[in-house]
A and B are shown apart, each in its own frame.
Chain A
Amino acid sequence: MHISEGVLSAPVLISGGVLAAVGTVIGLRRIDIDEIMPAALLSSVFFVASLVHVPIGPGSVHLVLSGLLGLVLSWACFPAILIGLFLQAVFFQFGGLTVLGVNTVTMAAPALCCHYLARRWLETPSTRPIAAFTAGSLSILFSSLLTALALSLSDEGFTTAAQAIIIANLPVMVIEGCITLFTIGFIVKVQPEILHVKAAL
Chain B
Amino acid sequence: MKHSSLFCLALILLLPLSAQAHKLSIFAWPEGSEIRGEVKFSGGRQAKNVNIVVQNRLDSSIVAETVCDEKGDFRLTLPEQTMKTKPDLLIIANGGEGHRGEWLLEAKEYAAVISDTAPPAQASASSAVAVNESQLRRIVAEELSKGLSPIRQSLAESINPEPGLRDILGGIGWILGIAGMAAWASRRKSIS
Contacts and interface: CB of A to CB of B under 8 A. Distances in A.
B19 A51 contact: yes
A83 interface: yes
B146 interface: no
Nearest to A148: B97
B22 interface: yes
Contacts of A147: 97-98
Interface in B36-69: 41-43, 45, 47
Contacts of A190: 3-4, 7
B11 interface: yes
Contact of B183 (A37, A42, A187, A194): A37
Given A49-B15, A53-B21, A92-B167, A44 B175 contact: yes
Contacts of A33: 183, 186-187, 190
B100 A36 contact: no
Interface stretch (A54-62, A112-120, A122-130): A54-62
B21 A94 contact: yes
Interface string A1-25: 0111111100000000000000000
A168 B95 CA distance: 13
A131 B139 CA distance: 69
B163 A44 contact: no
Interface string A40-53: 11111101111111
Q: Is the interface on chain A under 10, 10 to 19, 20 to 34, or 35 or more residues? A: 35 or more
Given A38-B4, A41-B5, A47-B175, A52 B98 contact: no
A157 B7 CA distance: 42
Contact of B97 (A52, A83, A151, A186): A151
Q: Is the interface on chain B under 10, 10 to 19, 20 to 34, or 35 or more residues? A: 35 or more
B86 interface: no
A91 B167 contact: yes
A187 B4 contact: yes
Given A4-B100, A39-B179, A60-B45, A91 B163 contact: yes
A164 interface: yes
Contacts of A4: 23-24, 98-101
Interface in A148-180: 150-151, 156, 161, 164-165, 168
A40 B171 CA distance: 11
Contacts of B183: 33, 36-37
B5 A52 contact: no
Interface of B: 1, 3-5, 7-9, 11-12, 15-17, 19-24, 41-43, 45, 47, 92, 96-102, 160, 163, 167-168, 170-172, 174-176, 178-179, 182-183, 186-187, 190
Given A37-B1, A42-B8, A43-B175, 19 more contacts: A4-B98, A7-B98, A36-B179, A38-B8, A41-B5, A44-B175, A47-B172, A51-B21, A52-B21, A53-B20, A61-B22, A62-B20, A88-B171, A92-B163, A94-B21, A94-B23, A151-B97, A183-B11, A190-B7
21 contacts: A3-B98, A4-B101, A33-B183, A33-B190, A36-B179, A41-B4, A44-B176, A45-B11, A48-B15, A51-B17, A51-B20, A53-B20, A60-B41, A62-B20, A62-B21, A83-B174, A92-B42, A94-B21, A150-B98, A164-B97, A190-B7
